[in-house]
Structure 1
Amino acid sequence: MFFSLFAVAQNSGSLQGNIVNSLNDQLENIEIHMVESSAVALTNKKGAFIFQNLAPGSYNVYAVYDGFQFPVETVEVEAGEMQQVTLYIGTLNYTLEEVKLRTLSLSEKLKNSAIKADIIPVEANTRRANSVEDLVDKSPGVKIRNVGGLGSPSNIIVGGFSGNAVKFLYDDIPIDYLGSNYGLTKVPTNAISRVEVYKGVLPTKIGVDALGSAINIVPKTSKKTNGTVSYETGSYNTHIATANANIKLNKHLFFGVNSFYNYSKNNYKVDNLPYKNQNTGQVTYIRERLFHNKFNQHSLEFSVQARELSWAESIEFKVNSYGLKKDIQNDPFSRTRPFGEVYRKEHGDFIPSLKYKNHFLDNKLSLNQFLVYSQIDFEIFDKGKNVYYDWKGMAHTTNSGSEMGNLLLDNGYLQNNFQQFTSRTNLNYLINNYFQIENNTVFSHYNRKSNVGDLNDNGTIYDKLITNFALNAQFFNQKLETNTQFKYLLGNFAGQYNASDNPLEENIVDKEVRNTGLSFSQALKYNINEKSYVRISYENTFRLPEQQELFGDNNFIIANYELTPEESKNINLGYTFAATHFGFEINTYYRDTKNLIRLKDLNQYQATFLNLDNVKGFGVELQANYEPVEHLRLSGNLTWNDFRLQSSKDKSLNNQHFEDARIANMPFYYGNISASYNFMELLKLSTDLSFFWDYSYVHQYYLDYIEKQFEPDGFLGLFGTSKINTSRIIPNQHTHNIGFIYVRDFSKQSVAFSAELKNAFNEDIYNEFKMQSPGRHFRMKITYSF
């Protein structure tokens, strides 16, 4: 069949066209995109463009100008003939949100069309005084729990998966080469274009070993000179500044900078903090401000890019540099003990990367190659000697070698140096308009060295290879779209480690480990009509252990070379309807996951990662949007998960009482409602003025495993009260955020001012491990764009 297709493709045609620009007189260097081949042409001084050596068939082309995508034109190309087309650039009749969604769905092209993805248009919200975390947290099926305010660690739930089962990427590349610099709680909205949330089968270009969910952070790009500068301030002495620019030096050469700075004291008030009276010895529970919770961070990204060269569609050299410092206020899982001097640092001073893209074989074969080398230092400082702090910030003398009670650190200092090399190669070959093959290969080499207790002289080395092959196809006049993938995973490492679970003893083991997995996935999408479609997918997938799970942190987490890959069988089914003013979507999913890796306490000071749990369950996501009148937008979503423990190697759970218990410390029912209205036309304003309201609800859940018999009765377990009285219940939570955005345009420049009141009714909000989050607080932001 393939030989026949190649033979037919030799009789090619051409497509020639021109641009009509009714906005201004610019005709040159306007991008013309072809959906089927991913090829891009630039118009000449007269507005003309051409695509040559095209196989006979139907092609969709569209113009991109000033950051916007204009209507698509379909052209039939016949063998040996030159087809003509005219594309128009003019006033759009779409709202900004509709334009962004249309552009993103087209940019995914054929290879992603059968795969479920939620696209969060961050660039459309850069003027709001909110964070990327806030925007992602409103997405259906997603719940982010961060402890401690700006810059704090967070745990994300996506489609029933959490922790390391959810992978993060930066521009399609696994994000670990950037450390924690681009975490959702740290990166400002001005630094990125959009966030892609994948659930179930992942696109072939996403070369990660996720169990079924991935978050892809996509940076801003531009074909012209532009930029933004912003400053944001708010409660708890919070300051966020950004400066981003793209400078067009000439027709082919571009220079870019993407930078931001974060600072916050994060000194919000918290209830129920244990305080011991030094005179009476009595312990009472008080409300006090966090006093040692400061965070500051700087991040710089420089890039030089050449485009439309004879030997490359684009080639980009980029350098990232960042540093951060975070005070450690308390234990990671509770606020039983406050710390007053412990802190951590992280920095990557010079992280170079290279990206090359080009097309070959008459634009049928595309190559996308990415290379990066990074060296990152992680440091912990625990040098407080013979001192402990109370929750009023007062220091007291004690006979303790350090605040955290660590047994391993040399003079209270730990440094882990991570070196990483990653290569990602993406090959995409278009057989014809209906068949496409793709290969994506990611190889990563990790080397960790430490200043304490490293048994391997050359560092601890870990190699990971992930390669997947895919066939994308369309049938029945493009009504049915399919994606079939085979993915091979290999993790290889060797070295010595201490296999003892007693911190005072050593059991040195020399071990070589080779973990492998072969995954299969099938995704289908059937277009019922122009407004609705259904998706279904199946996959059996693996996740290799992460380097920290294997090697520990030379501090509280000890190494475990016995870890094996997690495995999950997933089924996803969804229906989508989208009309001009109304749309809704329902998605269901089933997960059967084995050998889940979980952190298990060994003693008062140490823990290790173990393959402990087998989990099974299903979930439902509902989302809808409605525009009842012009400029008024309403949207909302609900998520219900029912994931339960089937068995466990944890002795405290491996008994009949906890069979079918809900997963501990994981919300299972939550939702969001949002509303926004633009008063520009109503008040006859010459500027934009929008008000918005966001509401979030999280149903009560349990910090620990609770026997199923003690759960509330009622439909889906959502009504009634628990039959067990415990302080480990995390109560129902309601959060309201309100704010406004004012935008004033000055020709090609604009100034925007926004303000937002978060947790407006000062509700008690609890996140990871039932630790209290900030109460009512505000943010203000001013943005200048050119």
Structure 2
Amino acid sequence: MLQYIPNIKALVVLITLVSLANIAWSQQAEKASISGKINATSGEALVGVSVVLKGTTYGSVTDSKGRFEINNLLPGNYTLQISFVGFEIQEKVIQLKPAQKAELNISLRDKTYEMQGVEIVGKSETRQINEQPYAVTAISVKELQNSSQDAKEVLNRVSGVRVLEEGGLGSRLNFSLNGFSGDQVKFFLDGLPMDNFGSSLSMSDIPVNSIDRIEVYKGVVPVWLGTDALGGAVNIITNKKANFLDASYSIGSFNTHRISLNGAHTHDSSGFTVRGNANYNYSDNNYKIWVPINDRLGNVIDSAETERFHDRYRSGLVKMEAGWVNRKFADNLLFGIMAAANDKQIQTGATMNNVYGGVTRTSQSIVPTFKFSKDDLFIKGLNLSLFTAYNRTKSEIADTLAGVKYNWLGERFSYNSNLGEIGNKVMLATFTDDDFNSQLNAGYAISSTVSLALNYAYSYFYRTIFDVKDPDKRENRYPKSLTKQQLGFAVKFDPSAQWSTTVFAKYYALQTKSSKEVDFGNEQRRIEATRSEKENLGYGLASTYFVLPNLQVKASYEHAYRMPWPDEIFGDGLAILPSPDLGPEQSDNLNVGAAYEFKLGQENRFNLESSFIYREASDMIHRPGTSKPQNPFLNLADARTLGVEGSFKYNWREFLNVGGSITYQHITDEADSVYNESFTATGWQKNWQKGYRLPNTPYLFGNATVGFTAKNLLTPESVWKLNYYFNFSEQYFLGWTKLDNPDPQYLIPRQFSHNLELACSLKNGKYNVAAECRNFLDARLYDKYFLQKPGRAFYLKLRYVL
């Protein structure tokens, strides 16, 4: 028996080891995990939040997206403690079952307190963006999401910003930022360029309840946006909640109807998500205007107030995305499709001197998209994102009424002519635009004080035109294509918590193919194909320093280039004429500013900001003021901008908020001579407009806001808001006019507008209703080229949030 004892001992040890392994494997298989996302009550992700299980050594810290994860937990009861400087500590009791993967979404409430005279305040994502070294203004629109406003209305209250409209809903917009306008300022949706999103997705088509915040970069544009913007950029950040439903309906004056539906659903364990939104906009735009009345011969016989009669607008958009979020292989891996369409009756051209009764424009777009992003890809600190989209848009322009003219009373006059209402031959033209856009961003954190960023953006545009009324039109036979590439590289230094500096360089390349008319006025007059290639190098830096914890100074400089965009070179078939020789514009941009925030007592908070703007632009792309219904974009040799802007905000408790901004910008033509290319006088000539202020551009404007908030008024779980908005614009000139001798005929008058809004939110924001009166004093308001905007208007919005 003794001889078997070693074998028995070995067998016992083996059985014990196998049992222990089974127990360990079983316990491992039963282990649970906790993950989730932590936001401020405003919905913004919080970075660096401490998440611990009380009484254990387990814990985590939220990443750049506000997410955390704690793994390898045994089943049982735990108390989760969440703490972050400037926010109230929150504890949550959790009971974990075997192998459970708990997913939590937690909101922390703001808290401001003092310790021995030192104030500590939590920083939301909006505030962190405002504290970047760039001249940037980030606006959280969560408090406005019940409003009937759109992105355009919100932007028009930012210092340095003016949104010039040609009319009512669906009219062409011209965004002006510190004197730069049009495509000099680029637009992005969640960091993705909106250039190829189709004409049904503009600022006036995006309701505020689909927006989280808006970032406005003035002058210097970060490399990661990957754009050739000359004067700034606007980045619209949409709602990124994992699970939500937001539906709204708005009805208003001029038979205006707007419907918005936004939602997302994310599976907790797999990370598979489906998100989408749909918008519909409609308006007759039959608002009243004060206009001259012409007779059959074109003579002005009277002036009268009458309704616009051919200005209907309707648009629809459906956007869907599906894929995976917050997985090990990708933070975002999304495939999407967007379909958009609009239908616009055209009432006027570039001015109100011509009245159209049969000109229309329609378009349809299909845009498949792909998005990928991953932080800490392969190695910690390496971040990568890729966006790709292809857009095919078909637009049809109809100007088929030959020999017909209208006046503002809607009276129709017939003439012996083969010309359409615009003034050219009648046309029924189809524009087919193919646009491919791709953008790659890579970033790497070398250390806690040094990081690198690389961006490559590629865009290809191709247009074909077929006119049923003139199928053999020669200029439509020539290819119209545009290829843009941009490469950007940046190095960011953070020597201390108070000081941050970024230096960068950008390479631009442009290739275009088009056609143009040559030898005008000669027997050799003809149309020839043109080809152009341009390369440029830009560079700059941005730096910020906190002199005091609440006093920030910042400065930024950039030598920037902006390549022409398709409509500027090829025209749009309506108000914009082709300009095939249009070249890139360049500018040296300097911004110097400061921001100071302070408190008086515990209930009065103030925020003051101001900045100085200096621009020296060459070959500035500009569309001059004119009395013609059509005009092209031209290169203005030299232009200078000197400007200053300031804003203030005041809050008393949560009850009262007051704010405002004012902007002054002196933009002048500084060219000594101009090149005149004509049949009779080609060559360089003296510039008689040197020192004149840039026409058709406001130079002094401002706004103010007063808001009141009352909670639990009349009913529990309710929030009531009353807001007053004021806008002001000083008179400015329509054409090149001497400052000391303005001609009233070319003077756009001083303007004031007043809006009033009342909103009510019930059941903690589940049910919402808002009523608004815009321009309640019914003032005559004008923008570019003396185009009159709507008068007094009323709107009612109903919103449901789940």
Residue in 1 that maps onto 2:453: 438
Provide the C-alpha distance between the structure 1 equivalents of 2:423 and 2:143, rounded to a whole number of angstroms. Answer: 46
1:531 aligns with 2:545: no
Q: Any conservation in 1 of the 2:713–2:719 contact (CA below 8 Å)?
A: no
Deviation for aligned residue 1:514: 1.1
> Which 10-residue stretch deviates more, 141-150 or 187-196?
187-196
CA 60–550 in structure 1, closer or farther in 2 if over 3 Å, else same: closer
1:462 aligns with 2:482: yes
- State the partner residue of 1:29: 35
The equivalent residue for 2:724 is 693
Q: 1:503 to 1:474 in 2, by over 3 A?
A: farther
One-letter amino acid of the counterpart of residue 645, structure 1: D
Q: Corresponding residue for 2:371?
A: 354
Tell me the equivalent position of 1:136.
155
- Counterpart selection for 2:511 from 476, 479, 492: 492
Q: How many Å separate the matches in 1 of 2:107 and 2:354?
A: 62
Aligned to 1:421: 436
What whole-Å deviation, never above 9, does each CA across 1:472-497 have from its counterpart, x for those lacking one? 0111x222100101000000134544
1:406 Cα deviation from its structure 2 partner: 4.3
Is structure 2 residue 164 aligned with structure 1 residue 145?
Answer: yes
Q: Which one of the candidate residues 81, 84, 93 is aligned to 1:71? A: 84
1:679 aligns with 2:710: yes
1:421-471 Cα shifts (integer Å, max 9, x gaps): 111000000001100000011001111111144658684222110110000
Q: Map of 1:207-356 to 2, 5 A cutoff?
A: 207-223=226-242, 225-251=243-269, 252-276=271-295, 283-332=301-350, 334-356=351-373
Which one has the largest radius of gyration? 2
Tell me if the contact between 2:371 and 2:388 (Cα under 8 Å) persists in the aligned partners.
yes
Matches within 5 A, 1:609-688: 609-647=633-671, 649=674, 655=686, 657-680=688-711, 686-688=717-719
| Alpha-carbon distance change, 520 to 530 in structure 1, aligned in 2, over 3 angstroms | same
Residue 651 of structure 1 and its aligned partner are, at CA, apart by 5.8
Distance in 2 separating the partners of 1:423 and 1:554: 27
Counterpart of 1:104 in structure 2 is: 126
The residue aligned with 1:515 is 534
- TM-score between both structures, scaled by the size of structure 1: 0.83
Number of corresponding residues: 713
Other-structure match for 2:491: 471
Write the deviation string for residues 117-161 of structure 1: whole angstroms up to 9, x where unpaired: 111223331101222211110011111111211111111111221
1:395 equivalent to 2:412? Answer: yes
Q: Hey, what's the Cα distance between the residues in 1 that align with 2:173 and 2:522?
A: 28
State the alpha-carbon separation in 2 of the partners of residues 503 and 367 from structure 1: 57
Could you tell me which residue of structure 2 aligns to residue 78 of structure 1? Answer: none
| Distance in 2 separating the partners of 1:51 and 1:216 | 28
CA contact (8 A) 2:394 2:430 kept: yes
Q: 1:113 and 1:48, CA in 2 relative to 1: closer, same or farther beyond 3 A?
A: farther
Q: Deviations over 1:603-653 (max 9, x none)?
A: 967643332331113100110001245410000111011111112627699
Is 1:381 the equivalent of 2:403? no
Question: How far off is 1:41 after superposition?
Answer: 12
> How many Å separate the matches in 2 of 1:122 and 1:101?
17
- Alignment partners' CA distance in 2, 1:604 and 1:635: 40
Equivalence for 1:772: 788
CA-CA distance at 1:601 after TM superposition = 9.3
Distance 1:680 1:207 in 2: 43
Alignment CA distance shift 1:154-1:668 (3 Å): same
Q: Is the 8 A contact 1:300 1:322 kept in 2?
A: yes
Unaligned runs of 5+ in 2: 1-31, 70-81, 88-104, 114-119, 468-472, 600-604, 678-683
Q: Secondary structure at the match of 1:104?
A: helix
Decide which of 574, 577, 582 is 1:563's aligned counterpart.
582
Shift in alpha-carbon separation, 1:638–1:666, aligned structure 2, 3 A: same
Given the superposition, is the C-alpha separation of residues 40 and 302 from structure 1 closer, same or farther in structure 2, using an over 3 Å criterion? farther
Please state how far the C-alpha of 1:701 moved relative to its aligned partner. Answer: 0.9
- Alignment match, 1:585: 609
SS of residue matched to 2:347: coil
Name the counterpart of 1:159. 178
State the 1:500 CA deviation: 5.5
Which residue is equivalent to 1:10?
A: none
Letter in 2 for 1:389: Y
Shift in CA distance, 394/204, structure 1 to aligned 2, threshold 3 Å: same
SS at match of 1:627: strand
Structure 1 residues 289, 32: closer, same or farther in 2, change over 3 A? closer
1:258 partner amino acid: N
More off after superposition, 322-331 vs 499-508: 499-508
Counterpart pick for 2:465 among 429, 437, 450: 450
Cα distance in 1 between the residues matched to 2:64 and 2:622? 48
- 1:657, distance to aligned residue in structure 2 (A): 4.8
1:654-683, CA deviations, whole angstroms, 9 ceiling, x for partnerless residues?
656532111111111111110111122677
Distance 1:121 1:528 in 2: 26
User: Which has the higher mean CA deviation after the structures are superposed, 602-611 or 530-539?
Assistant: 602-611
**Given that residues 434 and 474 in structure 1 are in contact (C-alpha distance below 8 angstroms), is that contact kept between their aligned partners in structure 2?**
yes
Structure-2 change in CA distance of 1:38 and 1:318 (3 Å): farther
1:495–1:700 distance in 2 versus 1, CA, 3 Å: closer
- 1:448 & 1:367 partners in 2: Cα distance? 32
User: 2:396 and 2:290 mapped to 1: Cα distance?
Assistant: 30
Deviation per CA, 1:219-266, whole angstroms, max 9, x where unpaired?
22112x211110001100000001111112343111111111000000
Instruction: Tell me how far 1:391 sits from its aligned partner.
Output: 1.6
CA distance in 1 between counterparts of 2:523 and 2:260 reads 48
Matched, 1:784 2:800: yes
Asked if the contact 1:427–1:439 (Cα under 8 Å) also holds between the matched residues in 2, the reply is yes
Deviation (angstroms), 1:270: 0.5
C-alpha displacement of 1:94: 7.3
Q: CA deviation at 1:524?
A: 0.6
| SS of the residue 1:293 aligns to | coil
* Cα distance in structure 2, aligned partners of 1:61 and 1:423: 24
Determine if contact 1:129/1:754 at 8 Å carries over to the other structure.
yes
For 2:748, the equivalent position in structure 1 comes to: 730
The secondary structure found in structure 2 opposite 1:164 is helix
Residue pair 1:32, 1:42 contacting (<8 A) in 2 also: no
CA distance in 1, matches of 2:141, 2:108: 25
Greater Cα shift, 184-193 or 152-161: 184-193
Deviates more, 1:498-507 or 1:531-540: 498-507
Please list, as runs of the form range in 1=range in 2, the aligned pairs for 1:9-88 lying within 5 A after superposition. 28-31=34-37, 50=60, 71=84
Structure 2 equivalent of residue 195 of structure 1: 214
Query: For the residues of structure 1 that align with 2:575 and 2:106, how far apart are their CA atoms?
Result: 62
SS in 2 for 1:709: coil
How far is the alpha carbon of 1:501 from its aligned partner? 5.3
CA distance in 1, matches of 2:348, 2:235: 31
How much identity, in percent, do the aligned residues show? Answer: 24
Query: When the two structures are superposed, what TM-score results if normalisation uses the length of structure 2?
Result: 0.82
Check whether the contact 1:461–1:493 (CA below 8 A) recurs between aligned residues: yes
What is the CA deviation profile of residues 692-718 of structure 1, one whole-angstrom value per residue up to 9, with x for unaligned ones? 1111111111111111333xxxxxxxx
